Amino acid sequence: MKVLALANYLGEDRVLGDLKKLVEREKVDFIVFAGGIVKGLERVREFEDAEKEGRAASFEKVSHEEESDLKQYELFFKGLGELNTPVFYIPGKFDAPIDRYLREAFNYEIVYPHIRNIHKSFSFYRNHYELVGFGGEISEKTREEKFILRYPRWEVEYHLKIIRDLRPMELIMVFYTPPYGGKLDVKDGKHTGSEVVEDFIKTYDPTFAFVGSGTEQGEEIIGTTHVINPGSLREGQYALLNLRRREIMFKTL
């Protein structure tokens, strides 16, 4: 069972041609995308500046980004949809506002029913693997879905409790945020991940967990779970896995 893991496309459509060749060459069974579709640079900057200055962020200042976002979503979803391979995906921290993301996901899943949003949700592959996802930043800070996607522990717990009711299958979890304190969340010498994610991995013990944010490709073991950051698709990075053999290769397009 061969799986292609991706993250952080960030509007870089030049990679889509090489991605199609890769999927065809490797005969990939399904694809996991761990968030990071659009750039959203001005929107994020306005939000972060407002937080530092103690003021309300102005959406009017960044409303012009919508046209660019929609184009990036279009190229991303069409690019993945035309691979004719099952895709399970979540949003990243910058894929806001949430209604824009969900609207585009809904529209393109009608055209390409083999691509599936699993943010706050789940899906199955061949009645053997269950994939459960939660996108955006997971932290103890204030919840936000307009300028960035940021969620508190209680909301993650509420949505992921569905795992207890699912049929016993091999579990794969997909987060944008990496677990705290390991090799996958170091940025500028500091750990930037979430203890919440680490707790969920330890609680539900998935075979694999994919994460999107972080500075580089890599892997680590938490309990019996293989945690993987495939790197930045924007830079051509990806991870190729053989699920049954638990073999992982980190490569570049």
Q: Would you kindly state where each structural domain of the chain is located, as residue ranges? A: 2-252
pLDDT of residue 191: 82
Q: How many Å apart are CA 91 and CA 109, to the nearest integer?
A: 15
Per-residue pLDDT at 178 exceeds 70: yes
- Give residue-wise pLDDT tens across range 107-128: 999 999 999 999 999 999 998 9
- Give residue-wise pLDDT tens across range 7-53: 999 999 999 999 999 999 999 999 999 999 999 999 999 999 999 99
Mean pLDDT of the chain: 94
pLDDT of residue 17: 96
Per-residue pLDDT at 245 exceeds 70: yes
**In whole angstroms, what separates CA 208 from the centre of its chain?**
14
Query: Residue type at 251?
Result: K
Q: Name the pairing type of β-strands 218-222 and 190-191.
A: unpaired
pLDDT band at 184 (very low <50, low <70, confident <90, very high): confident
pLDDT band at 215 (very low <50, low <70, confident <90, very high): low
Dihedral sign (CA 190, 250, 132, 23): positive
2-252 classified as CATH 3.40.50.2300: no
